[in-house]
Structure 1
Amino acid sequence: MLQRLESLAEDAAYDVIVLGAGGAGMAAALFAAIEGQRVLLVERTEFLGGTTAWSAATTWVPNTQHAEGTGDSPDQAASFLDHAVGNHAGAALRQAFLEAGPQAIACLEAQTDVKFRARPLHPDYIQEVPGAVLRGRALEPLPFDGRALGELFPLLRPPIPEFTVLGGMMVDRDDIGHLLRLRQPGKPGFWQSAWQSGRHAARLLARHALDRLRGPRGTRLVMGNALAGRLLLSLARRGVDILVSTRTEALLREAGRVIGLVMTQAGPRRQVMARRGVILATGGFNRHPTRRAEMLPQPTPQFSPAAPGHTGEMHDLALEAGARYGEGGLDTAFWAPVSVRTRRDGSTAVFPHFVLDRGKPGIIAVNAAGRRFVNEATSYHLFARAMFQAHETVPSIPCFLVTDAEGIRKYGLGMVRPGGGGFGSFLAEGYLHQGATLAALAGTLGVDAAGLEDTVARMNRFAEAGEDPDFGRGSTAYHRVNGDAAHGPNPNLGPIGTPPFYAVKLWPGDIGAATGLVTDTAARVLDGADRPIPGLYAVGNDMHSIMGGAYPGPGITLGPGITFAWIAARHISGH
């Protein structure tokens, strides 16, 4: 399965070559293998899994078998996307996704080791438009025992350290809930749930202890590592050949058709032919040396929490072959606010603030004027977009996530975990800022003190009343899911008043490309005259987003990525 480029014959040929081993690329290789093709999967970095392995791996696909009983329908999902995306992307691609998505998921679950589930409550992000639902569209991978991979396990991209505990133990939202319950004995019903949570935690710790006796990290995989692990096991069982640490130098063409690639791997250089097609799934342009500054908004974001492989090199080759970028999108990238810290080994930790802190009671975001500029409980994409918009008039990059002693104890703040202790290193490094008073905190941040004091006083009045007339925080089901269900009258609003006060800096971070190569409904890359470039396909973030730069729900990159991987593999195979 795992190959060395130098071991391939000089005239090596495959039916399908897939470039990029993130979620979409691994799925494309797997679907092509299911179709009976001889497949080569090529990854530029030393690990498989891409950004998918670092993500929650939520996969947004409406009307799969997991949506039974939710009341959803194809027409309702289409209406939702029509309103949420509008004319920022073509309706034909959206329709192709809605029709093929359930079939792609069914194929994975019936013929591979990939298994999903739908959570009881996982709302679309944009609840304000017709067609939004509270459950059924957002799927998550089932946990996976990495020991099943055997000697392939080290190929899997390890999770972000800050998303693990105890030196490499992965935890998901259910695990976090159990662990937090054990640290909150004052909550109503604590003793009733403590036994169940204690047993769950004990099983996790015992499993992890055994794992660490055998290796460098845990093998109980959840979220993105679980999906990537399940895909990798399925690829191995289908006999897909894989190259890692391999660069593509050229597309080979004959009479306008892409027929193969020129690749290098630590010296050796080989031509490898693709009899039926090449599928691009390299993750987008975001780390391209010049396009990052050209295509992202200003000021050019400094940080990305995405995996390092999406250099955009394949885009250069595709554009030379006649491809073009899509236009008209609401955004060129998808966003999340991030905080940044230097790890002990000198590497940079870029921590995405998805749902764990921003929308919780007693936590607010302010700019340099000490004023709120966004609904803190909105989606991470809209939060970061608001940073760019506010920055046009008031310095808002970075902005500051502010709370008090009670807020940080209950919910944590970025990389600072809940519990109320162990802040020393965070404070010493300047990741976490502290002030005995709000004015003192403002001084350390360079924020207007009067503005911050006024904002907190105003928010405290909102918390008491249970309404946020300024930004509507807590007004939708999505907001409330990410709040604290045990807190009232509004699960997203709480007072800030218990000193000392704390803050972390937030920056806009790009989590994936929205602008990509124009394709048709078969995922074929199109030229300037809307003609398919024979033999060349694009999926995932290499494909221009069917969401048009909007971010209407959780997993709207991975869902279409897997779906169009299925479509591309079937088209290549003659369906």
Structure 2
Amino acid sequence: MSGVTAPAWDEEVDVLVIGSGAAGMSAALGASVGGCRVLLVEKTDRIGGSTAVSGGAVWAPLNSQSAGAGHPDDFDKVWTYMRHTVGDAAPEEMQQAFLRAAGPVMDALAQHTQVRLVARTHSPDYYPDRPGAAMGGRSLDPLMFDGRTLGAHFKELRDPLPEFMVLGGMMVTMTDVKYLLAVTRSFAAWKEGVKLVLRYVGDRLRGYHRGTRLVLGNALAGRLFRSVLDRGIPYWLRAPLVSLQVEDGRVTGACIERDGRPTWVRACRGVVVATGGFPWNAALRERLYPSPTGPWSMAPAGNAGDGITLAQAAGAAMGTGHFSPAFWAPVSILNRSDGTQVRYPHLVWDRAKPGLMAVNSAGRRFVNESTSYHEFVLAMYRSHAEVPSLPAYLVCDSDFMERWGLGLALPGGRPRDHLVRAGYLAKADTLEALAVQIKVDPAALRASAEAFDQAGVNGVDPGFGKGSTAYNRYLGDAEHQPNPCLGRLRQAPFYAVAVVAGDIGTACGIRCDANAQALSADGTPVSGLHVVGNDMHSVMGGQYPAPGITLGPALTFGWLAGQHLAHTPSAESHP
């Protein structure tokens, strides 16, 4: 609606924030702390966006906790790492702006909000052998959050992925799962497991629809939401963005659908767009993603490119030069009889464990299975250029299955026949029979498994280097020798699941400056418009250097956008 005057302003605020993920709530809080009247609007019926269903890691190098976590850091070291991972895939000035601001923003959030993050004492960057890499300190996790403190608003917080919960609604971390799997083998594990279960049972008896002990990204979203409530920031649910209003080259507000009617909201200082990128926009995905692609994203289905499309209509330009359009993850898919789908992201639990092998349609390995989820999918696409590798197949034996599980197939003797009947899980008494089920060459699968089995014996993978880096071994089984990531593959029955090139969000978006102001094609700011989160062109350029490289910039540039607007002169108010 560029150049069109709104029929009448129904609401007036200083800052209008569109989208309630980490970036949007950080922007709202930054503006509120700066003294602005803020309105937060959300397209769906829940607060939290992609953040609420994420793992919750926040990459914020040079934060104030790094040294205390045992990993003193400096700008030159982390900048060296960025040059050897991101390189020129994103503008240098944006990369440096993030590195210089991330630490101070984390401190500001700790000072002014309920956000509490703690640095990991051991969490290698994803490319630990490259110059400047760190073994910990740069990634932070949200502290557990008590959802009961949200009161009646708890039901408005987006639920986590079911795969991050057990017993129908109890959130768990990797550490929690290890306790639960070892309850019969260790008193300490039994004690911790009982505490978790009793807390959960108490929540359900009190009428909560799920457990209130929040961890991972749900804890971060809950802490941000609690902070929004504490500051009295009004928010609207089920309120999608219809259009941005542009007058004399300035974004002056937006039309929001509320209760089925258009509502015109004037934003005297500006609008922040934080609608979560475009992973569920089929047209943009077909145009910008490599082929083949499909509806395989782990992001909420509401993330359909609304903000990006309307920001472009208001004069903003897409960024360029990125390495990849998305942040990838291998995803397995269960097609239910009612036509619905369950998507499982193979992030950090199963692929690095000893005894799991990945093969393409030729029945041959093509990747270091314990590499990062992003790098795994890049390898799928590289392999696909030579031999069909989408889908690829994760293969294991019964020993692995009972110890670790495989995707939706749970360990410890849990029922799996329903997954076999649904076509999600392939199961066979021989590798050759398994190969027939998944339509790969039986002889090749047998040869791949025998070579992989020998690598498990030797503790060295000469073909692909599984278990060869600190990051690989961090996600393996520390108790397994001689290599935490390499194990045998020979005990029938054998299992396989197909994985496709899923994503956890998009990386290409609106070009911005260091204050998160949207830029036009000629590089000048679009007055009154800021863009953050996955709507902003990634400062990582579609590379994935470490855990938390989406949430770190989301929180950082969200806060910077809010603070920048707090120091922006207010446009003359219309009657």
Q: Partners of 1:330 and 1:115 in 2: how far apart?
A: 32
Give the aligned partner of residue 488 of structure 1.
481
Q: Secondary structure, in 3 states, of the residue corresponding to 2:65? A: helix
Give the aligned partner of residue 38 of structure 1.
37
| Equivalent residue in structure 1 for 2:200, among 195, 208, 226 | 208
Please identify, of 414-423 and 454-463, the stretch whose mean Cα deviation from structure 2 is larger: 414-423
Superposition deviation, residue 10 in structure 1: 5.0
1:79 aligns with 2:80: yes
**Which 5+ residue runs of structure 2 have no aligned equivalent?**
1-7, 569-575
Q: Partners of 2:33 and 2:161 in 1: how far apart?
A: 31
Q: Partners of 2:183 and 2:285 in 1: how far apart?
A: 44
Kept after mapping to 1: 8 A contact 2:410/2:416: no
Kept after mapping to 2: 8 A contact 1:108/1:114: yes
Give the aligned partner of residue 308 of structure 1.
301
Q: Partners of 2:493 and 2:404 in 1: how far apart?
A: 15
Give the aligned partner of residue 24 of structure 1.
23
Q: Partners of 1:345 and 1:369 in 2: how far apart?
A: 32
Q: Partners of 2:38 and 2:359 in 1: how far apart?
A: 51
Please identify, of 245-254 and 494-503, the stretch whose mean Cα deviation from structure 2 is larger: 245-254
Kept after mapping to 1: 8 A contact 2:356/2:396: yes
> Which amino acid counterpart does residue 556 of structure 1 have in structure 2?
I
Give the aligned partner of residue 150 of structure 1.
151
Query: 1:483-522 to 2 correspondence within 5 Å?
Result: 483-522=476-515
Superposition deviation, residue 14 in structure 1: 0.7
Give the aligned partner of residue 566 of structure 1.
559
Superposition deviation, residue 462 in structure 1: 1.4
Give the aligned partner of residue 199 of structure 1.
191
Superposition deviation, residue 317 in structure 1: 1.5
> Which amino acid counterpart does residue 28 of structure 2 have in structure 1?
A
Kept after mapping to 2: 8 A contact 1:301/1:510: no
Give the aligned partner of residue 51 of structure 1.
50
Q: Partners of 2:209 and 2:566 in 1: how far apart?
A: 41
Superposition deviation, residue 399 in structure 1: 0.6
Q: Secondary structure, in 3 states, of the residue corresponding to 2:367? A: coil
Give the aligned partner of residue 351 of structure 2.
358
Residue by residue, what CA displacement relative to the aligned partner does 1:115-163 show, whole Å, maximum 9, x if unpaired?
A: 0112221111011211101100110100110000011111100111122
Residue by residue, what CA displacement relative to the aligned partner does 1:259-301 show, whole Å, maximum 9, x if unpaired?
A: 0001112322111000101111111122124111111110123
Give the aligned partner of residue 98 of structure 1.
99
Q: Partners of 2:204 and 2:9 in 1: how far apart?
A: 42
Q: Partners of 2:189 and 2:481 in 1: how far apart?
A: 24
Kept after mapping to 2: 8 A contact 1:247/1:265: yes
1:243 aligns with 2:236: yes
Kept after mapping to 1: 8 A contact 2:15/2:38: yes
Kept after mapping to 2: 8 A contact 1:537/1:568: yes
Q: Secondary structure, in 3 states, of the residue corresponding to 1:491? A: coil
Kept after mapping to 2: 8 A contact 1:405/1:420: no
Q: Partners of 1:519 and 1:302 in 2: how far apart?
A: 28
Q: Partners of 1:491 and 1:174 in 2: how far apart?
A: 17
Kept after mapping to 2: 8 A contact 1:485/1:491: yes
Give the aligned partner of residue 6 of structure 1.
none
| Equivalent residue in structure 1 for 2:550, among 557, 561, 566 | 557
Q: Partners of 2:196 and 2:188 in 1: how far apart?
A: 13
> Which amino acid counterpart does residue 63 of structure 2 have in structure 1?
T
Kept after mapping to 2: 8 A contact 1:326/1:515: yes
Give the aligned partner of residue 191 of structure 1.
none
Q: Partners of 2:128 and 2:344 in 1: how far apart?
A: 26
Q: Partners of 1:470 and 1:66 in 2: how far apart?
A: 39
| Equivalent residue in structure 2 for 1:261, among 218, 234, 254 | 254
1:130 aligns with 2:152: no
Give the aligned partner of residue 279 of structure 1.
272
Q: Partners of 1:247 and 1:289 in 2: how far apart?
A: 19
Residue by residue, what CA displacement relative to the aligned partner does 1:448-483 show, whole Å, maximum 9, x if unpaired?
A: 100000001111121111111111111110000111
Instruction: Count residues in correspondence.
Output: 558
> Which amino acid counterpart does residue 195 of structure 1 have in structure 2?
F
Residue by residue, what CA displacement relative to the aligned partner does 1:290-319 show, whole Å, maximum 9, x if unpaired?
A: 111111110123311111221112222111
Residue by residue, what CA displacement relative to the aligned partner does 1:183-206 show, whole Å, maximum 9, x if unpaired?
A: 5x3xxxxxxxx2222121111111
Q: Secondary structure, in 3 states, of the residue corresponding to 1:227? A: helix
Change (3 A) 1:385 1:228: same
Change (3 A) 1:27 1:343: farther
Kept after mapping to 1: 8 A contact 2:293/2:501: no
> Which amino acid counterpart does residue 44 of structure 2 have in structure 1?
T
1:454 aligns with 2:455: no
Give the aligned partner of residue 3 of structure 2.
none
Q: Partners of 1:32 and 1:123 in 2: how far apart?
A: 34
Q: Secondary structure, in 3 states, of the residue corresponding to 1:66? A: coil
Q: Partners of 1:275 and 1:337 in 2: how far apart?
A: 44
| Equivalent residue in structure 2 for 1:379, among 372, 387, 402 | 372
Q: Secondary structure, in 3 states, of the residue corresponding to 1:93? A: helix
Superposition deviation, residue 25 in structure 1: 0.8
> Which amino acid counterpart does residue 196 of structure 1 have in structure 2?
A
Q: Secondary structure, in 3 states, of the residue corresponding to 1:100? A: helix
Q: Secondary structure, in 3 states, of the residue corresponding to 2:130? A: coil
Please identify, of 342-351 and 477-486, the stretch whose mean Cα deviation from structure 2 is larger: 342-351
> Which amino acid counterpart does residue 171 of structure 1 have in structure 2?
V
Q: Secondary structure, in 3 states, of the residue corresponding to 2:260? A: coil
Q: Partners of 1:450 and 1:28 in 2: how far apart?
A: 56
Q: Partners of 2:229 and 2:371 in 1: how far apart?
A: 40
> Which amino acid counterpart does residue 290 of structure 1 have in structure 2?
A
Superposition deviation, residue 343 in structure 1: 5.0
Superposition deviation, residue 239 in structure 1: 0.8
> Which amino acid counterpart does residue 564 of structure 2 have in structure 1?
H
Superposition deviation, residue 54 in structure 1: 0.6
Residue by residue, what CA displacement relative to the aligned partner does 1:56-110 show, whole Å, maximum 9, x if unpaired?
A: 1100001112202412112111111111111111111111111111111001111
1:533 aligns with 2:526: yes
**Which 5+ residue runs of structure 1 have no aligned equivalent?**
1-8, 186-193
> Which amino acid counterpart does residue 48 of structure 2 have in structure 1?
G
Residue by residue, what CA displacement relative to the aligned partner does 1:164-186 show, whole Å, maximum 9, x if unpaired?
A: 11110111122112112225x3x
Q: Partners of 2:482 and 2:425 in 1: how far apart?
A: 29
Q: Secondary structure, in 3 states, of the residue corresponding to 1:131? A: coil
Give the aligned partner of residue 468 of structure 2.
475
Kept after mapping to 2: 8 A contact 1:410/1:420: no
Q: Secondary structure, in 3 states, of the residue corresponding to 1:64? A: coil
* TM-score where L is the length of structure 2: 0.95
Kept after mapping to 1: 8 A contact 2:43/2:238: yes
Q: Secondary structure, in 3 states, of the residue corresponding to 1:125? A: coil
Q: Partners of 1:341 and 1:11 in 2: how far apart?
A: 45
Residue by residue, what CA displacement relative to the aligned partner does 1:546-567 show, whole Å, maximum 9, x if unpaired?
A: 1111001001011011111111
> Which amino acid counterpart does residue 420 of structure 1 have in structure 2?
G
Q: Partners of 1:208 and 1:495 in 2: how far apart?
A: 37
Superposition deviation, residue 385 in structure 1: 1.0
Q: Partners of 1:262 and 1:232 in 2: how far apart?
A: 24
Kept after mapping to 2: 8 A contact 1:438/1:501: yes
Give the aligned partner of residue 163 of structure 2.
162
Q: % of aligned pairs identical?
A: 46
* TM-score where L is the length of structure 1: 0.95
Q: Secondary structure, in 3 states, of the residue corresponding to 2:280? A: coil
Superposition deviation, residue 345 in structure 1: 6.5
Q: Partners of 1:293 and 1:386 in 2: how far apart?
A: 20
Kept after mapping to 1: 8 A contact 2:26/2:562: no
Change (3 A) 1:302 1:251: closer
Give the aligned partner of residue 573 of structure 2.
none
